[in-house]
Amino acid sequence: QVQLVESGGGLVQAGGSLRLSCAASGGTFSSYTMGWFRQAPGREREFVAAISWSGHNTDYGGSVVGRFTISRDNAKNTVYLQMNSLKPEDTAVYHCAASRAPGTVVLPTREHSYDYWGQGTQVTVSS
């Protein structure tokens, strides 16, 4: 029903930047809360960022606040994650996700609150 495809991952040196993109199709993109999660080998999936359907509300995981910025372009059915000042500990597979929860008061930050997931894109930060 809803397909999410991430792009923009790659290898970058510590201190560098990457911008991830997530293109959505097969659903009403503008009605979804969108989020980014990441998962490193042997670790649970970690909340990174979320954005409301309007783009007016955002939330970030504590480990990325001040360095990452989530945004969306509903006309393009795309959500972005701008990652600056990257650290080796940011190395993970980054997944885009969509939630049917409206997020009118509190944006969802839990994995089970999201209904659709992309396959992920690898981000590797070297020292």
Task: Please write the tens of the pLDDT for every residue from 7-24.
Answer: 999 999 999 999 999 999
Residue 49 in this model has a pLDDT that exceeds 70: yes
pLDDT of residue 27: 80
Poorest-confidence range of 29-33, 56-60, 116-120? 29-33
pLDDT reading at 54 higher than 90? no
Share of the chain above pLDDT 70, in %: 98
The rounded distance, in Å, linking the Cα atoms of 25 and 13 is: 32
Q: Which of 45, 42, 47 is nearest to 68 (CA)?
A: 47
Reduced to 3 states (helix: H, G, I; strand: E, B; else coil), residue 30 is: helix
